[in-house]
Amino acid sequence: MSLLELNEVKVHFPVKRGVFFDRTVGHVYAVDGVSLTIEAGQTYGLVGESGCGKTTLGRAVLRLNEITSGEVVFDGTDLAALPDEEMRRSRRRLQMVFQDPLGSLNPRQNIESILAEGMAAHGIGANRTERRAKIVEVLERVGLPADALSRYPHEFSGGQRQRIGIARALVLEPDLIICDEPVSALDVSIQAQVINLLEELQESMGLTYLVIAHDLAVVRHISDVIGVMYLGALVEEAPSDLLYAEPRHPYTRALMSAVPVPDPEVEDNRERILLRGDLPSPANPPTGCRFHTRCPWRQAERCDTERPVLTELADGHRVACHYAAEIADGTIQPVRELAERIIPEGESVAVSEKADTGE
Amino acid sequence: MLRLVVRRLLQLIPTLFGLTVLLFIWIHRLPGGPAWALLGERGNEAARRQIEEQLGLNEPLLVQYGRWLRRLFELDLGNSVKTGQPVWDEFTLRFPATFELGVTALLFAVIIGIPLGYFAARRRGSWLDVTAVSGSLLGICVPVFFLAMILRSIFAVNLGWLPSGGRLTTGIDATDVTGFAVLDGVLTGEFDASWDAIQHLILPGLALASIPLAVVVRITRASVLEVLSEDYVRTAESKGLRKSVVRGRHVLRNALLPVVTTVGLLTGSLLSGAVLTESAFSFGGIGSFIRQAISDRDYPVLMGFILFIALLYMLINLVVDLTYGLIDPRVRVN
Amino acid sequence: ASERDDDNSGGDSEVFVFGAAGDPAAIDPSLGSDGETFRVTRQAFETLIDHEPGGTELVGGLAHDWSSNEEGTEWTFELEEGVTFHDGEELTAEVVCQNFDRWYNWAGTYQNTTLSYYWQAVFGGFAENESEDVPEPNYVGCEAPDELTATITVAEPSANYPGGFSLQAFSIHSPKAIEAYAEDDPSGEGENITFPGYSQEAGTVAGTGPFQVSEWNKGNGEVTLERFDDYWGETDAGVEELVFRTIPEESARRQALQAGDIHGYDLVAPADVSTLEEEGFQVPIRGVFNILYMGIIQERQPELEDVQVRQALAHALDRQNIVDTQLPEGGVAATQFIPDTVAGYSEDVQTYEYDPELAQELLAEAGAENLTLEFCYPTEVTRPYMPAPADIYELLRADLEAVGITVEPKPLTWNPDYQETTRSGGCDVYLLGWTGDFNDAYNFLGTWFDGYTKEWGFQNDEIFDLLSEVRTEPDVATREAMYEEANEAIMEFLPGVPISSSPPSIAFSPDVNLPTVSPLTQENFAEVSFK
Amino acid sequence: MSTKTDKIDRLAALTAQRETTTGGSLWVEAFRRLRSSKMALIGVAIMALFVVIALIGPWIAPHNPTSQLWRDEVFTNRGEFVGPRGENWLGLDHLGRDQLSRMLVGARQTLLVGVISTVLGFVVGALIGGVSGAALAFGGRAGQRLDTVLMRFIDMMLAMPSLLLAVSIAAVMGQSLTTVMIAVGVVQVPIFARLLRGSMLSQANADYVLAARALGVRRRRVVMGHVLPNSLGPVIVQSTLALATAIIEAAALSYLGLGNPDAAQPEWGVMLAQAERFFDEAPFMAICPALGIIVTALGFTLLGESMREALDPKLRS
Amino acid sequence: MPLLSVDELKVTFQGQGRRASTAVSGVSFDVDEGQVVGLVGESGCGKSVTSLALMGLLPKKGVRVEGRADYRGTDLLSLRPSAMRDLRGTQLAMIFQDPLSSLNPVVPIGVQVTEILSRHRGMRGQAARDEAAALLERVGIPDPTRRLKEYPHQLSGGMRQRALIAMAVACAPRLLIADEPTTALDVTIQAQILELLKELVDQEGTALLMITHDLGVVAGLCDDVNVLYAGKVVESADRRNLFAEPAHPYAHGLLNSIPRLDAPRGQPLNPVRGSINDQIAWADGCAFAPRCDHYTLECLEGAPELGPLAGAGAPAGHQVRCVNPVRERLETVTLADVGAGDDSPAEPVTQKEETSE
Ligand SMILES: Nc1ncnc2c1ncn2[C@@H]1O[C@H](COP(=O)(O)OP(=O)(O)OP(=O)(O)O)[C@@H](O)[C@H]1O
Ligand SMILES: Nc1ncnc2c1ncn2[C@@H]1O[C@H](COP(=O)(O)OP(=O)(O)OP(=O)(O)O)[C@@H](O)[C@H]1O
Ligand SMILES: [Mg+2]
Ligand SMILES: [Mg+2]
C-alpha cells in the first residue's frame, strides 16, 4: 500500500481587499487538483518553476495550509478530514525540512530545546534525560557533535543548520519527511553533504521523502519518481531516469533543455528549446491547458479550452498533454513564435520563421 | 477610486458609533457636573439640581444617549453648557485658528524636519547627525508648556521680535471673511493683516511643531538610511546619473513614503498638543476651548469635539492612505 | 522692553488693551454672574447705585438719590437727568421699570440659574416660576410716579437692599434694546441652555456707560468697546477704544504686558509684582474686599467638633506668614469672616494668635494628639483671594504638621471636583474664600452661616438665628450692629479659620494714566488714558 | 607522525582563531554596534546616572527636601529668590526648600512614574496586542473577529488626543500618584498594542513558527514560546522611548494641576510646573527640573533610538 | 592589451566598532574586448565586492580599496568620483542580481531608462522615449511603449531583468558587469536572459564580466573563468581547460560535488568538506587548507602564489594558486557511459572534522 496518496488536492488562497472588512475578490489557485502517490521507502521529487505551488502542496500535506478540497490519505487516513487535535498528533509521523535553514530555527532556542520541543508535544520520552539521550543519538546520526546541544542556531554554519533541521524531524521518528528545497539555500560545495546525508538516512531508517526542489539535477539525483508541476498542477510524472531520458510534456522538455550543465562540451553541443514569455499568474490561470500560452507545440482549439488530465503513457509515465504521443513521434512540429530553438554553432533561428517558411 | 473612498467612509460609521457609546458613558461618568463650573463659589445644591434638571442630566444615561444620538441624526450637536452656544458654531468659530496653527506646525515640521533628517542620514555618525538627532529629540523631551514660556520669553519679551500671543494684533484692520486670518488678509487685500497673522503663528507654531518635528527628523533619517542601502540606489549610481538625480528621484522620493504616513498620524498628536499650546499662547482655538470644556464638564462640547476629532483623524488617515496610493504605485488601487 | 512697543505706540495710542483671564459669558450684564463678564459690561452699563471710586461705600449712579420706606419694602430712586443710552434713547423712570419688569417676567431658559443667578439671589423668583427649585419672588412691582422717579416694591425687606441695586446684573438697558431682546427668545428646545443671541454679539445691547460694545470677536477672544461720545457723565472716556483680550495663562498675561502687547492685566501673581515694578510697570494696590478661610467640616471627625481642637488649628496657623509671603502688598491677616472694609466688622472678636505651643497644648487637652486631617486644596486655579493655592496649602501644611497633626493632601481640580467635594462635605479641612458683591456683611456671612450646610457640617442655632434675623432687617445701622454681634459669635464658635484678605493685583504699562483701582475690582476704564 | 599532529594542531589553532573573529549573533552584533555608537553611549551614561541618583538620592540629599528650612530667608526678601550658593548648590525654591535635595529625592519619584506607567502601558498594551495578534494569526474566523474588535478599540484610543485621555482619567480616578501613572500608562497602551500585534503578525509567518506547527506543537505553545518572544524586540525598544515620553507626559499633567497630590514630595514635573510662575524672577528654579527632565528623557530616547538602529538589520554597514 | 586589467585588488571593510575584515584580498584578472570572463565562487567569497569596487560603488566610509584596475589606461580605483560618474553608464555598466529590488519601485520603467539617455546621450523628450522603447524592444520586451509607463512591480521577473539589461546597454558600454544576473530567475527564464547576454556580446563586441556561482552558466557562456575562494583567485583558466582539468583542489572538489543532470544515478556525491567559514587568513597560509584533502605543511607557509600550472601538457594561461595542485583529469561521466562512474570518493564525510569548529 502506498504511504501517501493525494487525491485531487486543491489549495486556493483567497485574495483579500479592504481595510476594515476583508472582502474576497478572487483566488490564487496555488494548487489546483493534484493527485499523486508515494510508496513507502520511496523518494518523490517535485520540480517546477517558482510560484507553481510546490511549497503549498508540501504544506498542504501537513495541513499547514488549509486544504480547499481533495483528500490527503496518509497510511489509510484522510488527513484533510481529521479534527485539529488528531491532526496535530498525526504530525509526528509526517515531518518537514525547510528551505531556509536559519529562518526555520527559532533564534532564541538552543538546539536541545529545538529538538525536544516536538518530543514534548508528542509525549516521546518520559523525562528530560530520556529525551536528551535520544537527541544525542539523533545528533550523532546527522553528524553533529553532542556539545551542540546547548548552542544556538546562529553559531552553526549553513550546512550544519540544515542538519539541525533534519534532526528535528528525525527525533520524532517520522515515516514521511517533506523536504522543501532542502539545499537551495546552501552553497554548491555544501549541497552535496546534505544530499548525501538525506540519502544515507533514508537507507538506514527506511524513510519516505517528498523532495521539493527547483534544481532538476538535485531532484534527479535523489528521487525515484519525479513529478513536474506547472501552475498548480502536475504536468508529468515518471520514474526519474525515464523522465530524463524521455521527457514527454512540452514544458518538461523545455525545462530540461534550459538547465545549464557544468560541462562546456555539453553546453556547446546541445540543442535547446527557449520558451518565450513568462509564467502566467496563478490568480488568473489560462483556460484549457495551463501551458498553452507558452507551448511551442500548441494546437488550436483543444489546447485552449480543454484541460488535459494526467494519463499514463507507459509504465508509470503519466503526462497531462493532449498531444504527448504526437509530439513524441514527431507528427506535430513546434510552431508559432512561442519558442526559439538554439542550435549549436551559434546559429539561432526563430522556430516561427522556420515553421512559416516551411508551410 | 471613488468607490473606495465611499466604502472607507461607510466603514467609519460603526467605529464612530462604538466610539460615541463608549465616550458617552465615560464622559458622563466623570465626577461632578457642569453646575459648579458655571457658578463657581456662588454655586449651591439648589442651583445644581436646577441646572441638571434643565440639562436633563437627571435622566437615565440611556435616555440621554438616545436623545443625543437622535439629535446627532438631525446634525445637531447640542449647545455648550458653558457658553450656551451651539457646539457646531463654537467649532466653526474656533476651528480656523486650530487649523492655521496645525498647518503652521506641520509646515515647520516638514520644512525643517525633512532636510534635517536627510542630511543627518547622509552624514550618518557625523557631528551634524548627532546634533540633528539629539536636537530634534530635545523637541520631544521639552514639555510643551515650558517651551512655550521660553519662546515667549526670548522672542516676545526680550527680543520683541514677535507677539507674545493671540491671533492678531489688537486694533489691526482685519475683515473676517472665512475665519482664517491669513487667508482673510489675502482675500480682502489687507496684506498687513495677513502678515500680522503670520507673525502671530510663528511662536505657537514652533512650540506645537516641537514633537512632530522631532518625529519627522527621526523618520526621515531612518527612512533615508534605509533607502540609501537599497539596491535601486546602487543601480542609479551604476548608471552614472548626476548626484541630484540620484538623490532626488531615487533616494528622497522613496524615503518620503513613510514620512507621509507619519505626518498623517501626527495630526492626532498635533490636536492634543494644541490643547496646551493654544492655552499657552492664548490662541483661542479648539484646543484651549476643549481644555476648558473638560473642567467645565461641558458634555455636549466634549462629545461633539471627540466625535469631530475622531472623524477628522480617520479622514486624515484615509487621505494619507489615498495619497500613499498616489505616490507609491505598488499600493495603487485599480 | 521691546521694539514692538514702538511699532504700536504711534497709531495704537488710542487703543487700550487689557488682558483678562477669561472670556465674558455675555455682554448683557443681566445674564452674567462672574467678574470677567462684569468687567466688560461695567464699561458700557451703569446701575442705579454705584460704589465710590476706590472704595466700597454706596454712592449714586444713574440715581443720584435713593431711599426706602421704614419696612424696607419700597425703594425710591431719583434718576439723573439727561442720561442718553448708546442708541439715543433717554433714561426715564419708565425705562427703569421696564428693566425690572423684564427680569421679573423672564420665563423658560431665563429662569435657569445660569442665566439669572443674581436676580434669583436678590429678588427671588419670577412672575411665573417654572421650577420648584426657583425661589419665591420677592419683587412686587415698579412704578414711575414721575419722569425721573422710580419706585420698586418688594415683598420682604432684605439685607440685599440697597446693595443689590449696585450689582452689574441690574444695570439699566435702553428700552429699544429691551424690545429687541424680547424678540430674541433663548428658550431653545429641551435640555439646552442657550444664551440669547443679543448677549453674544455686539449691536443690540445698549446701556449708558462711557463705552459702547462695538465688537466681540470670540475666535480671537477680544471684546472691543468704543468711546461713547454722548456720555452723560462729566468726562468722556480717556481712550477711543478699549479692548479686553482673553489670556488665560497667568505667565502669558505677564509676558504679554512685558512684550507690550497689552497695556494692563488683572490677577497679577504676587511673585511677579516686584519684577514688574522693577521693570517700570505700574502695580497699584487695591483695597481688600474678600476673605480666604480654612473651612472645617466638623461632622467628619468627632475631634473637630471639639472647639478646643478648632482653636488649636487656629493657633497653629501662621496667617501673617501667608500674608507676607503669598499675598500681594496690601493683604491682611483676617480675624473674622469679613474683610475690614465691610460694615459690621467687629474689633472685639476673639482672636487666635499664632502660637504653636498653645496649639499643641490644646490638642493634648482635647486628647487629639494623633489628629489626622484630610486637607483639600484646589489646583489649576487662582482666585482673587488665593493667588497660589498649592503654596498656601504647603505653608499651612507645614504649620499643622509642626504641631503634630498629620495632613493628608487632597488636591482637586477647581472645576468641578473641588467645589463639589467641599460643598458636599468631602474633606476635613479645605481652602475657600469669597469676594463680596457689595458692601453688606450679609453677602459674606449669610452665604455660609444662615443655616446648616454640609460644607461646614455643624449646628449652631445661635449663629443661624442671628443671621436669619438680620436677613430681613430693613435698617442698615441696626444690621451693622447685628453683624458685629454675629462676627463675635462666629469667632467664638470658630466654625473655620479665617486666614486673610488679599487685594487682587492689577498691573499697567508705564505709559498709561491709571484708573482708580477698586477693592471690588470695579475699575472704570474710562479713567484710563495714555500719557 | 609528530609532523602530522603538528600540522593538525596548527590548522586547528588557525581555524579556531578565525572562528572568534567572525560571526556572532544578531544580538552580539547589535550590542557591538550599540557599544560603538556615540548616541547609545551618551544615552546609557545619562540613564545610569539617573538611575543611580534615583536609587541613592534620598541618602545623599544634603537637606530634608520637604521642610521649608530657609523659608524666612526667602520670604523676607520677597521676590528676591535665593540662587545657587555654598549651602544650597542649586539655590532655594519659592518656599525656602533646598533645590538640590529636592532634585535628588525627586529623581526617584520621576523614575517611578516613568517606569511604572511604562510598565503599565507595556503590559496592558502587550496583552491587547498579543491577544489580538495571536487571535488573528492562529484563531481562525473567530480570532479574526476578536482582532477586529480589539483593534477598533485601539483605534479609538489612538483617535483620542492623548492629553485629553490622561486628563479625563485623572478626573475619573481622582488625583493621586497612581492616577498619574495610570493616565500616562493608558496613553501608551495603543502604541504598544499596535507594535506588538504588527510584530507578531510578521513573525507568525516566519519559517520557524511554521516548523513548530509542523512538529505538532500546540497552538498556545507556538504563540507563547515562539511568536511572542521573537516579537518583543521592537516593543522593548519602544519602551525606552516610552519611558522618556512618560516622564514628560507626567510633567504636563503636573502642569495641568493633575499631578502628584502631595506637593511637598518633590517630583521633577511638579517642580517644573511650580517654578513656571517664577521663571522671570528665579529661572534657576525652573531650569534645574527642566534640565533634569530634558536630559533624562534625552538619555532614554537616545538609547532607544540607537537600540532601534542597532537591531535593524537593514542598517548594518 | 586587455580592456580591463585588475591587479591585486584588495578591499577591506572597517566597520564602526568592528575589526577590519578583508573581503577581497588581492584579486587579479584581465578582461579582453569582446570576451566573457567568469568570476565564480561560493557565497561570500568576494565576487560582488570585486564588481562594486570596479564600478566605484562601494560606500566611501569604512572601506579601503587598494590595488589597480586599469581600464584603457586609467586606473578606475583612483579616479575622481565625478570622472567615475561620467564613465559609469557609458563605458562601464552593471546588471544586478535581484531585478526587483534593483529597480526603483516608484519610478516608471520609462523614466528609469530615459534618465540614463539624457545623462549620457543628451536625449530629451520624445526622442528619449522612442530610443527607450527601442531599447526595450531590443532586449525582447513585448509592447515596449506600454511598458515604459509601467512600474517595476507590474513587470514579471524576466522582464525586469531585461529592463535592467536595457539600461545597462543603453549607451553601448565597453564593459558590462553582470552580478549573478539569473540567480533570482527560473530556469526557463534564465536561459532566455543568458541567450540575450550572449547575443549582446556577440553583436556589440562588449566585454562581459560574468559573476555567478552556477558552474553550469559558466560552462555555457564564459571564455575565461576565474575561481575565487576567500577573496583571492585560486584558479584561472580557459573554460574548457578548467572544466576538463581543474587543478585547484577547491575547483576540483566543486566540480566533483555537484549532481549533474546527465550523470548516472545512485552514486553518493563527493562533497567538499566543511564550509566557507572554515577558512584561515591568507596571511597564515592557503585559506582552503582546512577543507583540503591534500594539504601539507607547506600550505601553511603564507599564501601560495598564483602561478601557471606546472607540468607537461599544461595548457597556457591556466593558472592556479596551490602548492600541490590536483593532477588528475576530471572524468566526465555522462549518460552514455552509465555505470562507469568514479567510485573512489576522495574521503567520506568525516563528521569529526566537519564539526570541529
Ligand atoms: N498564504 C498565501 N496567501 C496567498 N497566496 C499564496 C500564499 N502562499 C502562497 N501563495 C501563492 O501561491 C502560489 C504558489 O506558491 P508556492 O510558494 O507554493 O510556490 P513554489 O512553487 O513553492 O515557489 P518557489 O519555487 O518560489 O518556492 C504563488 O503564486 C504564491 O504567491
Ligand atoms: N558593506 C560591507 N561591510 C562589511 N563587509 C562586507 C560588506 N559587503 C560585503 N562584505 C563582506 O565581504 C565578503 C564578500 O562579500 P560579497 O558580497 O562580495 O560576496 P559574494 O561572493 O558576492 O557572495 P554572494 O554569492 O552571496 O553574492 C563577505 O564576507 C561579506 O560579508
Ligand atoms: Mg517554495
Ligand atoms: Mg554577491
- pLDDT exceeding 90 applies to what percent of chain A? 25
For residue D301, list chain B residues with Cβ-Cβ distance below 8 A: 137, 140-141
Q: How far is the CA of A355 from the centre of ligand 2 (A)?
A: 48
> How far is it, in rounded angstroms, from Cα D280 to Cα D278?
6
8 Å CB contact of D213 and A152: no
pLDDT of D283 higher than 90: no
Q: How far is the CA of C142 from the centre of ligand 4 (A)?
A: 102
pLDDT band at E16 (very low <50, low <70, confident <90, very high): low
Q: How far is the CA of A60 from the centre of ligand 3 (A)?
A: 12
Domain borders along chain D are 2-13+24-316
For residue C402 the three cell numbers come to 509642626
**DSSP state for residue B86 in the 8-state scheme:** B
Q: Mean pLDDT over residues C273-299, rounded?
A: 89
pLDDT for the residue numbered C63:
92
Is the CB of D164 inside 8 Å of chain C's CB atoms?
no
**Environment class of D34 (CB within 10 Å of its CB; exposed 0-12, middle 13-18, buried 19+):** buried
- pLDDT exceeding 90 applies to what percent of chain B? 1
Q: Contact at 8 Å (CB) between B34 and B297?
A: yes
pLDDT of A203 higher than 70: yes
Q: What is the ipTM of this complex?
A: 0.79
Neighbours of C11 (CB within 10 A): 10
For residue E295, list chain D residues with Cβ-Cβ distance below 8 A: 7, 11
Task: List chains touching B (3+ CB pairs under 8 A).
Answer: A, C, D, E
Q: Mean pLDDT over residues E303-312, rounded?
A: 78
Is the CB of D317 within 6 Å of ligand 2?
yes
pLDDT of C372 higher than 60: yes
pLDDT of A72 higher than 70: yes
Q: Which residue's alpha carbon is nearest to atom 3 within ligand 1?
A: A13
Helix (H, G, I), strand (E, B) or coil at C90: strand
> How far is it, in rounded angstroms, from Cα C385 to Cα C333?
12
Partner residue opposite A143 with nearest CB, options E186, E219, E354: E354
The whole-angstrom distance between D118's CA and the closest CA on chain A is 25
Closest CA to E273 of E306, E295, E241, E305: E295
Domain borders along chain E are 4-225, 239-338
Is the CB of E45 within 6 Å of ligand 2?
yes
Q: Contact at 8 Å (CB) between A306 and A315?
A: no
> How far is it, in rounded angstroms, from Cα A157 to Cα A185?
12
The whole-angstrom distance between E290's CA and the closest CA on chain D is 7
Task: List chains touching D (3+ CB pairs under 8 A).
Answer: A, B, C, E
Task: Report the atom number in ligand 1 closest to the C-alpha of A59.
Answer: 18
Helix (H, G, I), strand (E, B) or coil at C461: helix
pLDDT band at C187 (very low <50, low <70, confident <90, very high): low
8 Å CB contact of E89 and B238: yes
Q: Quickly name the fold that domain E4-225 has.
A: Rossmann fold (3.40.50)
- pLDDT exceeding 70 applies to what percent of chain E? 88
8 Å CB contact of E290 and D15: yes
Residue ranges of C 242-271 with Cβ closer than 8 A to chain B? 243, 245-249, 251-252, 255-256, 258-262
Q: Cα C441 from chain centroid?
A: 13
For residue D141 the three cell numbers come to 474566523
Q: Mean pLDDT over residues C413-428, rounded?
A: 82
Strand partners, C78: C65, C149
Query: Of B21-30, C65-74, E88-97, which gets the smallest average pLDDT?
Result: B21-30
pLDDT for the residue numbered C358:
93
DSSP B228-281: HTSHHHHHHHHTT--HHHIIIIIIIHHHHHHHHHHHHHHHHHHHHHHHHHHHHT
Crossing angle of helices A188-205 and E249-257, in 10° steps, is: 50
8 Å CB contact of B157 and C133: no
pLDDT tens figures, B270-302: 777 787 788 888 887 888 788 778 777 788 888
Q: Mean pLDDT over residues C148-176, rounded?
A: 90
More confident residue, D307 or D264: D307
Give the predicted TM-score (pTM) of the model. Answer: 0.81
Partner residue opposite E220 with nearest CB, options A159, A267, A274: A267
pLDDT of A227 higher than 90: yes
pLDDT of A94 higher than 80: yes
**DSSP state for residue C111 in the 8-state scheme:** G
Is the CB of D21 within 6 Å of ligand 2?
no
pLDDT tens figures, C448-500: 888 888 888 888 898 999 888 888 888 888 888 999 999 999 999 999 999 99
8 Å CB contact of E280 and D11: yes
8 Å CB contact of D14 and E284: yes
Domains and CATH numbers, chain A: 4-230 (3.40.50.300), 246-348 (no CATH)
Instruction: Please provide the average confidence, as pLDDT, over all residues in chain D.
Output: 78
Task: Report which bound ligand comes closest to the CA of D23.
Answer: 2
Task: Report the atom number in ligand 1 closest to the C-alpha of A65.
Answer: 1
| Chains B & D: contacts with CB separation below 8 Å | 121
8 Å CB contact of C17 and B36: no
- For chain A, state the CA radius of gyration: 22
pLDDT tens figures, B109-147: 889 889 998 988 888 777 888 788 778 777 777 778 788
pLDDT tens figures, B46-79: 777 777 777 777 788 888 888 888 888 888 888 8
For residue A195 the three cell numbers come to 544530499
* 3 state SS for chain D: CHHHHHHHHHHHHHHHHHHHHCCCCHHHHHHHHHHCCHHHHHHHHHHHHHHHHHHHHHHHCCCCCCCCCCHHHHHHCCCCCCCCCCCCCCCECCCCCEHHHHHHHHHHHHHHHHHHHHHHHHHHHHHHHHHHHHHHHHCHHHHHHHHHHHHHHHHHHHHCCHHHHHHHHHHHHCCCHHHHHHHHHHHHHHHHHHHHHHHHHHHHCCHHHHHHHHHCCCHHHHHHHHHHHHHHHHHHHHHHHHHHHHHHHHHHHHHCCCCCCCCCCCCHHHHHHHHHHHCCCCHHHHHHHHHHHHHHHHHHHHHHHHHHHHHCHHHCC
Crossing angle of helices D283-311 and D268-275, in 10° steps, is: 140
8 Å CB contact of E105 and B330: yes
Query: Of A31-45, C483-497, E103-117, E308-322, which gets the smallest average pLDDT?
Result: E308-322
pLDDT of A210 higher than 90: yes
Q: Contact at 8 Å (CB) between E323 and A116?
A: no
Partner residue opposite D168 with nearest CB, options B226, B294, B310: B294
**Environment class of B197 (CB within 10 Å of its CB; exposed 0-12, middle 13-18, buried 19+):** buried
Q: Which residue's alpha carbon is nearest to atom 14 within ligand 1?
A: A53
Residue ranges around ligand 1 (CB below 6 Å): A 13, 28, 30, 48, 50-56, 214, 282
Task: Report the atom number in ligand 1 closest to the C-alpha of A99.
Answer: 27
pLDDT for the residue numbered D5:
60
Q: Mean pLDDT over residues D55-59, rounded?
A: 84
Q: Helix, strand, coil: what percent of chain E each, to 5? A: 35, 20, 45
pLDDT band at D167 (very low <50, low <70, confident <90, very high): confident
pLDDT for the residue numbered C172:
92
pLDDT of D114 higher than 90: no
pLDDT band at E353 (very low <50, low <70, confident <90, very high): very low
Class of domain B89-333: mainly alpha
pLDDT tens figures, D181-236: 888 888 888 888 888 888 888 888 888 898 998 888 888 888 888 888 888 877 87
> How far is it, in rounded angstroms, from Cα E288 to Cα E269?
20
For chain C, the straight-line distance linking the first and the last C-alpha, in angstroms and rounded, comes to: 17
8 Å CB contact of D216 and A98: no
Closest CA to D192 of D236, D159, D162, D150: D236
Residue ranges of E 23-62 with Cβ closer than 8 A to chain B? 52, 55, 57, 61
Q: Contact at 8 Å (CB) between B53 and C133?
A: yes
pLDDT for the residue numbered C44:
92
Query: Of A221-225, C521-525, D239-243, D256-260, which gets the smallest average pLDDT?
Result: D256-260
pLDDT of A19 higher than 50: no
User: Which residues are in the CB-under-5-Å shell of ion ligand 4?
Assistant: E 48
Is the CB of D25 within 6 Å of ligand 2?
no
pLDDT for the residue numbered C186:
62
- For chain D, state the CA radius of gyration: 26
What phi, psi does C34 have (nearest 5°)?
A: -130, 160
Determine the residue of chain E that is closest to A141 in CA distance: E351
Q: Cα E265 from chain centroid?
A: 30
Q: Which of C244, C261, C414, C430 to mutate to test the interface with B (most CBs of B within 10 A)?
A: C261
pLDDT for the residue numbered D280:
74
Q: Cα A226 from chain centroid?
A: 9
Contacts of C34 (CB under 8 A, 6+ apart): B40, C22, C25
8 Å CB contact of B314 and D309: no
- pLDDT exceeding 70 applies to what percent of chain A? 90
Read off the amino acid at residue A283.
A
Read off the amino acid at residue C529.
S
Q: How far is the CA of A55 from the centre of ligand 3 (A)?
A: 4
For residue B18, list chain D residues with Cβ-Cβ distance below 8 A: 152-153, 156
Is the CB of D2 inside 8 Å of chain B's CB atoms?
no
8 Å CB contact of E356 and D12: yes
Q: Mean pLDDT over residues C80-107, rounded?
A: 91
Q: Quickly name the fold that domain D2-13+24-316 has.
A: MetI-like fold (1.10.3720)
In terms of average pLDDT, the best of A273-282, C265-274, D63-72 is C265-274
pLDDT tens figures, E133-155: 998 988 888 888 888 988 888 88
